[in-house]
Amino acid sequence: MHNTANPLNFEIINTGSELLLGRVLNSHQQWLCNELVQLGFEVARQVAVSDASQDIEGAVREALTRADCIITTGGLGPTSDDLTRDCIARLLGRRLLVDAKTLASLERYFAERKRPVLESTKVQAMVPEGSIVLHNANGTAPGLVLEISPNPFRHDGKPSFLIMLPGPPRELHPMFNGQVVPLLTARFSQIHPVTYRTFRTAGSGESQLEEKIRDPLKPLIEKGLILSYCARIGDVEIRIGARDAEGASLLDPAEKIIREHIGECIYGLNKDLLETVIIRELTQRKQTLAVAESCTGGLISHRLTNVPGASEVFMAGLITYSNEAKCRLLGVPLEIIQKEGAVSEATARAMAEGARARNSVDYALSVTGIAGPGGGSEHKPVGTVFIGLATPKKIIIRHYLNRFDRETFKNATVQQAMELLRKNWE
């Protein structure tokens, strides 16, 4: 068992040339770091390397000189560029042996699909001598765990734990949660998990939020409260945490302070999304919604329909991109567009009114704006957007200037529209 008086050194090595070519987003870094910190572990380093054997071997060799636990991702499959297993076996001087259970699992996997087991596929059943084999219920490549004790690469000889996980997220995530987490918590049992609470906010910037809660939270931070922020377009996460059982008592008073000072900005907790909150609230109220989109091109509807159960409350999403569509589908009077312009308060109002009336819903959102890079003017620059909300009792219009690139403009506008609805239930 390691002496946990000092922080443990965790490192992650992501293999795959596609990560370095920019063809695939390296989501493993964020996901694994988040999962590990929830368990009380901190990642000291993360690197991505190509599929070349010398790069994989070099990265693992270097990590072994200092890390208590190393997690690699990718390179366990059957193709010629899957070299992680072979490189690590060679580096450690361990033979590759056939694991009978893995081979049987491979044969069963392909038999169920009425496909032959190719000889190249059977390489996935070859595991370094002394490995703990992690069953892959969602693919063919097993995960592997090696105890390196003593560790010849460390000057102090301390052992290292080496965990090899498959690359596809749908295989890696359940394998990590179901099999790796129990191994880690058993091996490093003296580690105290960090208890976190995350507040999801919209409608206010990171610095504005910090200004309101920083000083009130200072006494709790001095006692050990962990406070961090994560800002995205139109959305800021505020996370509070405590490392041990005694410190967890700091979370309740911290939450009270946060809610007292910025409660109107908080729309959800932990993994809540704004669209999830909208659908949940509509469902509880037994109310309905329609959306009329121009500049966002259907993105509000996309976000809402990603939420299970949205069909019970989300009645229609209309992409009225052209002036003709605004008039024909929403009943926007042509004279309004001719006089005020398609991007105007009057048009946003008429769009919201038309969407609500024509779909017989409780609420209707409308958005119309200039996403750019062209199309702006002195009076209506690029980034101009009008958002309308028609409720059972009133029409609300908001005017924003979202000076971003086209995609960011759309995401910011979607957040603003949903936040307008969240704050105006009737």
Three-state SS string over the chain comes to CCCCCCCCCEEEEEECHHHHCCCCCCHHHHHHHHHHHHHCCCEEEEEEECCCHHHHHHHHHHHHCCCCEEEEECCCCCCCCCCHHHHHHHHHCCCEEECHHHHHHHHHHHHHCCCCCCCCHHHHHEEECCCEEECCCCCCCCEEEEEECCCCCCCCCCCEEEEEECCCHHHHHHHHHHHHHHHHHHHCCCCCCCEEEEEEECCCCHHHHHHHHHHHHHHHHHCCCEEEEEEECCEEEEEEEECCCCHHHHHHHHHHHHHHHHHHHEEEECCCCHHHHHHHHHHHHCCCEEEEECCCCCHHHHHHHCCCCHHHCEEEEEECCCHHHHHHHHCCCHHHHHHHCCCCHHHHHHHHHHHHHHHCCCEEEEEEECCCCCCCCCCCCCCEEEEEEECCCCEEEEEEECCCCHHHHHHHHHHHHHHHHHCCCC
pLDDT tens-digit series, residues 227-276: 999 888 889 999 998 877 667 789 999 999 999 999 999 999 998 999 99
pLDDT tens-digit series, residues 369-414: 999 999 999 999 999 999 999 999 999 999 999 999 999 999 999 9
Span 417-421, average pLDDT? 98
Spatial separation of the C-alpha atoms in residues 87 and 205, rounded to whole Å: 47
Same domain membership, residue 202 and residue 181: no
Same domain membership, residue 409 and residue 313: yes
**Could you give the angle at the alpha carbon of 311 between the alpha carbons of 396 and 287, nearest 5°?**
40
Span 330-346, average pLDDT? 97
Q: How confident is the model at residue 190 (pLDDT cuts 50, 70, 90)?
A: low
pLDDT score recorded for residue 312:
97
Q: How confident is the model at residue 330 (pLDDT cuts 50, 70, 90)?
A: very high
Q: For residue 285, give the CATH number of its domain.
A: 3.90.950.20
Asked whether residue 1 is domain-assigned, the answer is no
Q: How confident is the model at residue 80 (pLDDT cuts 50, 70, 90)?
A: confident
Asked whether residue 2 is domain-assigned, the answer is no
Q: For residue 33, give the CATH number of its domain.
A: 3.40.980.10
Same domain membership, residue 372 and residue 237: no
Contacts of 97 (CB under 8 A, 6+ apart): 126, 127, 128, 129
Same domain membership, residue 203 and residue 90: no
Asked whether residue 117 is domain-assigned, the answer is yes
Same domain membership, residue 406 and residue 336: yes
Handedness of CA 55, 59, 64, 69 (dihedral sign): negative
Same domain membership, residue 379 and residue 284: yes
pLDDT score recorded for residue 246:
66
Same domain membership, residue 214 and residue 301: no
Same domain membership, residue 308 and residue 166: no
Asked whether residue 352 is domain-assigned, the answer is yes
Q: For residue 218, give the CATH number of its domain.
A: 3.30.70.2860
pLDDT score recorded for residue 7:
67
Q: Among 118, 152, 187, where does a domain finish?
A: 187
Spatial separation of the C-alpha atoms in residues 342 and 357, rounded to whole Å: 20
pLDDT score recorded for residue 1:
34
Same domain membership, residue 163 and residue 36: yes
Span 164-174, average pLDDT? 94
Per the prediction, the chain carries an average pLDDT of: 92
Asked whether residue 5 is domain-assigned, the answer is no
Same domain membership, residue 344 and residue 201: no
Write down the pTM of the prediction.
Answer: 0.74
pLDDT score recorded for residue 5:
41
Same domain membership, residue 410 and residue 386: yes
Lookup: tokens for 55? 């790069």
Asked whether residue 4 is domain-assigned, the answer is no
Asked whether residue 412 is domain-assigned, the answer is yes
pLDDT tens-digit series, residues 97-130: 999 999 998 888 888 888 887 888 889 999 999 9
Q: Among 130, 152, 187, where does a domain finish?
A: 187
Give the count of beta carbons closer than 10 Å to the beta carbon of residue 84.
28
pLDDT score recorded for residue 2:
37
Domain hosting residue 124, numbered range: 10-187
Asked whether residue 70 is domain-assigned, the answer is yes
Q: In what order do the strands lie in the sheet with 384-390?
A: 314-319, 289-293, 363-369, 384-390, 395-401
Same domain membership, residue 351 and residue 316: yes
pLDDT tens-digit series, residues 1-41: 333 344 689 999 999 999 999 888 899 999 999 899 888 88
Q: Among 241, 269, 297, where does a domain finish?
A: 269
Our count of domains for the chain comes to: 3
pLDDT tens-digit series, residues 284-307: 999 999 999 999 999 999 999 999
Give the count of beta carbons closer than 10 Å to the beta carbon of residue 106.
23
